[in-house]
Amino acid sequence: MPELAPRDDPAPMCAAPQSRCEAARWDDAGLHPAADVVLEEVPVAMVYNGISHAVMLASPADLEDFAVGFSLTEGVVQSAAEIRDIEAVPCCDGIELQLAIAAGRMAELKLRRRALAGRTGCGLCGVESLQHAVRPATRVPATGARISADALQRAFRCLAQEQVLHRATGAAHAAGFATWAGELMLVREDVGRHNALDKLVGAMCAQGLRGEDGIALITSRASYEMVHKAAAAHIGLLAALSAPTGLAIRAAAESGLTLAGFAGRPGRRVYTSPERCAS
């Protein structure tokens, strides 16, 4: 497996992604004092050209990746080059990610601005109307690339080995990017599954990796939002450890994305565009 990209967050940090706490171990003999390690989550606000656009609960790590990935997968910008600057600023028991974006993109954002005061794992909190809730999915490019079942399973095994926060806390989702040969290239973790995928997309931009160059692996279910974000990043195959939703399957079919569920074990399912799956 190639050496993974660095995971140190270059932005200022308000908190560590994990912390120690006192707990009690409970067994048949009763309660016993025990220390534990827990995953942290903090409010993170995306602020574009001085205007707050969205607030999510997220793990305070890889924040620059988060800012870039969220901006791309939510259509705030069309390319990372339209982000002029990113600064992480501790504020009000949380973190503001202050982004300077191109004037044209900011004008468009103001026209469709949504107040997304979000909760962990919910990609639609605060959407102002139903017509904004389900957007057309981006068409993903057809490259002719394929991945075998063995390569996919190997990539998931490597992903499990790289889930540092989850091993320590048991509470983190992960998103990984692997080549079509099953080599794991990048991993990002977060308390929220959407956030983990956004961080992965941002890390791909930083590393110069295109969505067409490989596949995305996620340790959660495949919801509509996860499919939408993968398609926006031009990732042609999204493989989830758990099941997809019906809306996710329809979005994947619309975008031409290959959607696989229960993908880390034998008996995996392929729901759309099976041409990217080799025997």
Q: CB within 8 A of 15, min separation 6: which ones?
A: 40, 42, 60
pLDDT for the residue numbered 8: 46
Name the maximum alpha-carbon separation found in the chain. Answer: 65
Q: How much is the pLDDT for 9?
A: 45
pLDDT per residue, tens digit, the chain (279 aa), is: 444 444 444 434 446 888 888 888 888 888 888 888 889 999 999 999 999 999 999 999 999 999 999 999 999 999 999 999 999 999 877 999 999 999 999 999 988 764 444 444 444 444 544 555 667 889 999 999 999 999 999 999 999 999 999 999 999 999 999 999 999 999 999 999 999 999 999 999 999 999 999 999 999 999 999 999 999 999 999 999 999 999 999 999 999 999 999 998 888 999 999 999 997
Task: Name, in order, each residue with C-beta under 8 angstroms of 163's C-beta and a sequence gap of 6 or more.
Answer: 172, 174, 187, 189, 219
**What does pTM read for this prediction?**
0.88
Q: Which residues of 176-193 are buried (b: 16+ CB within 10 A; e: fewer)?
A: bbbbbebebbbbbbbbbb
3-state secondary structure of 14: coil
Please report the pLDDT score of residue 119 as a whole number.
41
* Active-site pick, 21, 91, 122, 125: 122
- 94 secondary structure, DSSP code: E
CB neighbourhood size of 131 (10 A): 8
Q: Strands 147-148 and 116-117, how do they pair? A: unpaired
CA dist 136 and 75 (Å) reads 12
CA atoms within 13 A on the CB side of 58: 33
Which pLDDT score, from 0 to 100, does residue 13 have?
44
Superfamily of domain 147-278: Cytidine Deaminase, domain 2 (3.40.140.10)
**pLDDT score for 34:** 86
CA 160 → CA 80, 125, 131, 163, 166, distances in Å?
29, 30, 38, 5, 9
> Are 186 and 207 spatial neighbours (Cβ–Cβ below 8 Å)?
yes
Neighbours of 162 (CB within 10 A): 18
Question: Residue 90 and residue 228: Cα distance in Å, rounded?
Answer: 30
* H-helix or E-strand spanning residue 82: none
- Domain residue extents for the chain: 147-278
* 122 among known catalytic residues: yes
